[in-house]
Amino acid sequence: MSLRVAEAVYLRAPSASASATGWAVAAAETGTHHEAPSFTVPRPPRRSAAVGSPLAAGLRRPASPTEPRPVDTLAIAAALNVLVETYQRPLTFDELVLAGLRHMVRGDGRLTLHVEGGDLVFHDGETYLSRRRLPDTAALLRDEEAGTRESGEAGLVPGYLVGPAWADVVRDAVDVLDRARPRLLPRDRFTERFFGFLPEYLDPGTRYVDPDASQGTFGIAFALQRGAPVISVVAPGSPAALAGLEPGDQLIAVGGDDLRDASLNQINESLARRPSGPVSFTVERNGQRLTVRSLRALLRAPRVSSYLRRGVAVIRIPMFDPDTAEAVRRHIEYMRRQHPELAGVILDLRANGGGHVAAGVEVADHFLDSGRIVELRHPRASGASATYDATPGDIARGLPVVVLINGGSLSTAELTALALSENGRARLMGTTSGGKGSLQARSLDVPLRVTTGRYFGPRGSTPHGVGVRPHVCTGAAPDPCSPDFRLHESDIDAAIDVVLSVR
């Protein structure tokens, strides 16, 4: 028994020199059973721009030697087009550009910008700085349509005039801001910093990451618990784990930044500003304040592990990658061979930040003979929505199953828990999960992750924003179901008690 899942993960964005046709959402497929539909975001074929053509004129602008910094208008235009065309709700170029510019100046108490009569106006306190006419998006779209008809082709890339026009607004605004505040804007990774507003303005899953920022990662994730930032996930074997950081630690500071009341976006921005080299983290744990130093590193995906306790197989899944489902199958089969009297299975999904949707679907299918697993809804991508049902073949052969979750269980971990729970196959224990039911796609041409939709469980509900509530809550009083992020060994013993009580 296996289930093939086509997981939509790629978007292609417009590029002046691209020779590929259309914007495609490629399918990363796993398994060996029936085909599941892949999909494409509807985009007409594109062509390379000839020198002197209107397309080339719209996308290529020679840099002026007097410009204080290189502003990559091509990258900005491409990212704007991806967001406008594929985000889960309709967006406009003007709202994105204005949100980005306001994000850049929000640290200055005097600089302001507003739109007045179709112009972008900057002030420094009461002092007028600049006025710049904003593009007429409707007129540019009409010009694009006319150019498409004249081309005699199926069409040029939508946005080939609009995106660059709005990217030029960013470039001109940067000129104004650099003259008014020479040290306000970052000197490096400007495009990433400009799009730093995305997680806060749209959603935490939508973000731009500088392609040159390949410094690795700390292997850490954060969440807000009663308004305060805490560490929700520490990847096994990561620099954060080796430094001694643990899930549930309350974040106090990173370097010299006090982050006790910070948003998740502010935490990510603080980390992004850190150069390569050791970074200090100050946390509070059990009333004690600790400061540790950690480096970034390129991580290997943590592996599925298992052990036997009191006759029950405990399968630890730290994240979902393309090999996860096969690894889970091998661990279960090994346990059954070595221990014919196996009493049940515990799937430990605590502090599992998610990963490949396809892997989560297949893991759930391993324990189901029938029933709906998940429905993926991408409201703005034609043909992208899909449902996945279980196929016959329960590798646990009806043994009791308990799924452990906590506040650090997100996305694909929640999908898997919901599928097993709502099909009556597993009991859920722990604390309420983190509540991330959104789906992201990665762009092929710009380093952008975009939220394109959400997933829904067998009964039509999504955990987005609310989490998955366990059948048996093991947290502390007064609300034992409230999201907790620590990995309590006592939860394993409590889950084993539940498994054995079913036998």
Between CA 42 and CA 12, with CA 191 as vertex, the angle to 5 degrees is 20
- Same domain for 260 and 335, yes or no, is no
pLDDT at residue 394 is higher than 80: yes
pLDDT tens sequence across 223-276: 988 889 999 999 888 899 999 999 999 999 998 899 999 988 889 888 877 777
CATH number for the domain including 358?
3.90.226.10
- Same domain for 289 and 326, yes or no, is no
pLDDT at residue 3 is higher than 70: no
- Same domain for 100 and 189, yes or no, is yes
Tell whether 316 is covered by a domain. Answer: yes
pLDDT tens sequence across 80-99: 999 999 999 999 999 999 99
Burial class of residue 285 in the structure, from the number of CB atoms within 10 Å of its CB (0-12 exposed, 13-18 middle, 19+ buried): middle
For residue 31, what pLDDT band results from cuts at 50, 70 and 90? Answer: very low
**Averaged pLDDT of the chain:** 83
H or E element in which residue 281 lies = strand 279-285
- Same domain for 342 and 421, yes or no, is yes
Tell whether 178 is covered by a domain. Answer: yes
pLDDT at residue 211 is higher than 70: no
Instruction: Tell me which residue range forms the domain holding 261.
Output: 227-294
Q: Which domain-ending residue is among 156, 186, 201?
A: 201
- Same domain for 117 and 235, yes or no, is no
pLDDT of the residue at 217: 84
Tell whether 251 is covered by a domain. Answer: yes
For residue 345, what pLDDT band results from cuts at 50, 70 and 90? Answer: very high
Q: Which domain-ending residue is among 294, 316, 335?
A: 294
- Same domain for 242 and 117, yes or no, is no
- Same domain for 426 and 392, yes or no, is yes
The total domain count for the chain is: 3
Tell whether 31 is covered by a domain. Answer: no
pTM for the predicted model, two decimal places:
0.81
CATH number for the domain including 275?
2.30.42.10
- Same domain for 170 and 238, yes or no, is no
pLDDT at residue 221 is higher than 50: yes
Q: Which domain-ending residue is among 240, 275, 294?
A: 294
pLDDT of the residue at 441: 87
- Same domain for 498 and 355, yes or no, is yes
404 forms bridges with which residues in the sheet? 348, 429
Percent of the chain at pLDDT exceeding 90: 63
Picking from 145, 142, 117, 144, the residue whose alpha carbon sits closest to that of residue 132 is 117
Annotate 443-483 with DSSP letters as a single string.
Answer: ESSSSEEEEEEEEE-TTS---TTT----SEE-S-TT-TTS-
- Same domain for 108 and 162, yes or no, is yes
CA 430, CA 102: separation in Å to the nearest integer? 41
Tell whether 12 is covered by a domain. Answer: no
- Same domain for 357 and 496, yes or no, is yes
CB–CB of 313/337 below 8 Å?
no
Tell whether 16 is covered by a domain. Answer: no
pLDDT tens sequence across 310-343: 999 999 999 999 999 999 999 999 999 999 999 9
- Same domain for 309 and 281, yes or no, is no
The alpha helices in 205-312, defined as continuous H runs, are 239-243, 264-272
Tell whether 206 is covered by a domain. Answer: no
